[in-house]
Structure 1
Amino acid sequence: MREFVKNLSVCFAAGCLGGLGYALALWAMGHYGITRAFAVDIAPHLSNGYIYQRVVWGGICGLVFLLPLQKTWFARGFFLSLIPAGVLLLLILPMHGYGIGALLLGTLTPLVIVLACAAGGIAGSGLLRAQGK
């Protein structure tokens, strides 16, 4: 039981780092005009509330690192990041009125979301690798 709680807390911490990575990647894509070049209407402003929300949700999403995926840390981070990306594109953003895949924000919105989630997933997986997990 003690080992499970330890793994749970390490995965939550890795998810928090992943959430920070996601937030910064999405902000950077908007700030440097990548989303504009893709004709995607996403350009978040960097603020405490913006980062805090994504770090907390990232920690919750980091629990997917408990899944027994035995790939390289890079591949594990990328493939497991597809789970929160799918939840965003198929559940959360449509609930906010952006349509399935958030296509109302632009045709390439799924690509932007997957890239941002991948940045977070790879960051979290890198932390787990550094922890020996």
Structure 2
Amino acid sequence: MNKYATCPISTNRINERVARLNGLFTFLLIMLFIITRLWYIPAFLAFDFLMRSINLSKFSPLAYLSKGIVKLLQLKKKFINAGPKIFAARIGLLVSSAIFIFSLIGFNITAIVLASVLALFSFLETAFGFCVACEMYPYLNRFLNRLQ
């Protein structure tokens, strides 16, 4: 089976440099949450992921900051398909929302475990351009199709 045959495809393109900086800021913020346990950090991340997952990245504070840094450093643009990154943002929205909820209701260990997973995924995106959610998509899609 060609696992890439069902990747989410979009007519939109995004700058990979911006996506990787978004990953860096997500990693730094989630590490700050792990250290401080401040509930509003995953709430902020959930909002940011929501904006990116519904194609409103112009309202995403992290995307705005990342675009500004790319422009300031005059990094060469490298455009990629937006579909996989939008899917990844939706996964980020789910995970950061769960972290927020678990931290509010006192399930701190669960929140930290989920935060650690999000930190790992964000680190992989930043350091290597490896999008775990993008790699999971074909398998998830295949699994969901079997349930129907």
What interval of TM-score do these two structures reach, taking the shorter chain for normalisation?
A: 0.3 to 0.5
**Larger helix percent:** 1
Q: How high is the TM-score relative to the length of structure 2?
A: 0.31
Q: How high is the TM-score relative to the length of structure 1?
A: 0.33
**Larger strand percent:** 2
